[in-house]
């Protein structure tokens, strides 16, 4: 069988794939886009869009239950219609995916192949019965939930972040195994829908990559809503108990027994069934494709973007990967992965926005630093909204004034963080933030105030 020739092949239609196809096609290239399941990848189908749509529904339910605090009288108790919540979520996802499909279909230079791509050689892939070849191949295959070999895990009907999106009944008691970003978003969300929630985390605290004060504040937020949290869990195991599932996590405590179990224990890259060995593409011990600072693999003509390369696990890092590849290939602009600043959010309510270094990382670096912090109880906008949990923290270099990092755990934290992030990209010193005039009343207006009140980090 002769292979069909293209100028470029893009494997995976997640957040980096379609925009790259658009740029390549606009540059006059003949491009093949291969997708084995849903256009849009994790973000559109099982990640950001559906979960944040559900977070919005959960917030509405939570606020309605607090109506009396705002002087608003409701005629009866607040309940949720989970089937309508799911229908709303499905519509948002389907509309977004449909718009992407229409966009791709309108590209005359792009051919969409549905199926699983596997390398035959370094420049040829097979999709079903088709052979495709191109001098440029781009991997955008994403990742999936990790399912560790814990005792009894295969004997129970567990859920992952993906299968949670298909759940059409509200769990009476959801046990969440894992204490990081995905797990906590689901925990709070379903608690607000009315489920009993138990979170089990093997580490000594939640969100272990954050500073201890941030982890403690997050724990307080969750426990204030009636979520049971167990950290330092020992040997986690699973067993059926009638129609329920029992999760054992400590020798001196009874097992948690719930109707459903969600495993949120990290992600693994979708690289194990691509035939990378036949192309000679190197992967690391965890299966991530090894790339350089411009996302080139060890094989000339092959790039890797998004979650499969281990350079980031977010939609925004995946899209930035596309921008870096396109800039280098098409714009004569030598952009690099190392140019970007780490930034992300945790979408509990209130959300956490984070950029740059943590306090722990700054201390480990050994540099002299300054720190400023303010609780949301001293932020007028948060108090006015009745949402004064959390705090803000800014870190700066004591000698140069360089802004090193920032955390905003509070209302609008995922938006307010960009005030600091953009200054970091502009390489502006902390004095620039300190002299800025922000709008009142906002959460962001206190960032300059904090910048004026920095003290030595000890």
pLDDT at 111: 97
Class of the CATH domain delimited by 344-452? alpha beta
Taken in order 299, 301, 307, 308, the sign of the CA dihedral is negative
State the Cα–Cα distance between residues 339 and 233, nearest whole angstrom: 38
Q: What is 4-145+268-339's CATH topology?
A: FAD/NAD(P)-binding domain (3.50.50)
- Please list, in sequence order, all residues whose beta carbon lies within 8 angstroms of the beta carbon of residue 430, skipping any fewer than 6 positions away: 370, 394, 396, 401, 402, 403, 451, 454
Place of tokens 């979708």: 270
Q: Which of 116, 230, 316, 440 is catalytic?
A: 440
CATH 3.50.50.60 domain residues, the chain: 4-145+268-339, 153-265
* Residues of the chain scoring pLDDT < 50: none
pLDDT at 214: 98
**Known catalytic residue: 230?**
no
Residue 352 corresponds to which tokens in the numbers above?
A: 């956490």
Dihedral, CA atoms, 63, 68, 74, 76, nearest 10 degrees? 90
Place of tokens 């769990």: 171
CATH 3.30.390.30 domain residues, the chain: 344-452
pTM: 0.95
Q: Are 171 and 190 in contact (CB under 8 A)?
A: yes
Residue 260 corresponds to which tokens in the numbers above?
A: 């459903």
What is the CA 451 to chain-centroid distance, rounded?
28
Q: Looking at the DSSP assignment, which residues form a beta bridge with residue 346?
A: 352
Burial class of residue 433 in the structure, from the number of CB atoms within 10 Å of its CB (0-12 exposed, 13-18 middle, 19+ buried): buried
pLDDT at 126: 98
pLDDT at 325: 98
DSSP string computed for 33-52: EEESS-TTHHHHHTSHHHHH
pLDDT at 324: 98
pLDDT at 234: 86
Considering only CA atoms, which of 418, 184, 149, 112 is closest in space to residue 268? 149
Class of the CATH domain delimited by 153-265? alpha beta
Considering only CA atoms, which of 387, 74, 54, 46 is closest in space to residue 193? 54
Going by DSSP bridges, is the β-strand pair 136-139/302-304 parallel, antiparallel, or unpaired? Answer: parallel
């Amino acid at each position: 069988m002769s292979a069909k020739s293209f100028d470029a092949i893009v494997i995976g239609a997640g957040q980096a794939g379609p925009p790259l196809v658009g740029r390549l096609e606009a540059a006059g290239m003949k491009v093949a886009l291969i997708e084995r399941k849903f256009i849009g990848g994790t973000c559109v189908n099982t990640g950001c869009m559906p979960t944040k749509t559900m977070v919005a529904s959960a917030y509405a339910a939570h606020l309605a239950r607090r109506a009396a605090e705002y002087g608003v009288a409701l005629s009866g108790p607040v309940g949720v219609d989970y089937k309508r919540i799911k229908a709303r979520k499905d519509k948002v996802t389907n509309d977004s995916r449909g718009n992407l499909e229409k966009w791709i279909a309108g590209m005359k230079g792009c051919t969409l192949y549905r199926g699983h791509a596997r390398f035959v050689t370094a420049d040829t892939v097979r999709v079903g019965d088709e052979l495709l070849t191109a001098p440029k191949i781009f991997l955008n295959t994403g990742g999936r939930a990790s399912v560790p070999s814990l005792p009894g895990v295969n004997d129970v009907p567990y859920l992952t972040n993906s299968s949670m999106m298909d759940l059409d009944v509200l769990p009476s008691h959801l046990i969440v195994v894992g204490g990081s970003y995905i797990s906590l978003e689901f925990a709070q969300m379903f608690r607000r829908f009315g489920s009993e929630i138990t979170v089990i985390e093997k580490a000594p605290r939640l969100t272990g990559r954050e500073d201890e004060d941030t982890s403690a504040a997050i724990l307080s937020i969750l426990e204030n809503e009636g979520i049971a949290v167990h950290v330092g869990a020992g040997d986690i195991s699973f067993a059926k108990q009638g129609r329920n599932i029992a999760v054992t996590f400590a020798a001196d405590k009874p097992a948690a027994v719930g109707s459903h179990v969600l495993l949120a224990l990290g992600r693994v890259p979708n690289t194990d069934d691509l035939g990378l060995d036949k192309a000679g593409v190197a992967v690391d011990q965890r299966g991530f494709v090894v790339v350089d600072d411009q996302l080139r693999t060890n094989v000339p003509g092959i790039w890797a973007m998004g979650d499969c390369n281990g350079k980031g696990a977010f939609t925004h890092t995946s899209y930035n990967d596309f921008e870096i590849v396109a800039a280098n290939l098409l714009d004569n602009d030598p952009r690099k992965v190392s140019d970007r600043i780490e930034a992300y959010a945790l979408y509990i309510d209130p959300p956490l926005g984070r950029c740059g270094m943590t306090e722990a990382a700054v201390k480990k670096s050994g540099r002299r630093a300054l720190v400023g912090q303010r609780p949301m109880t001293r932020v007028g906008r948060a108090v006015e909204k009745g949402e004064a949990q959390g705090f803000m923290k800014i870190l700066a270099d004591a000698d140069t004034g360089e802004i090193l990092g920032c955390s905003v755990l509070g209302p609008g934290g995922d938006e307010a963080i960009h005030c600091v992030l953009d200054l970091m990209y502009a390489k502006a010193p902390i004095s620039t933030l300190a002299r800025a005039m922000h709008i009142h009343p906002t959460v962001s207006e206190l960032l300059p105030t904090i910048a004026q009140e920095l003290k030595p980090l000890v």
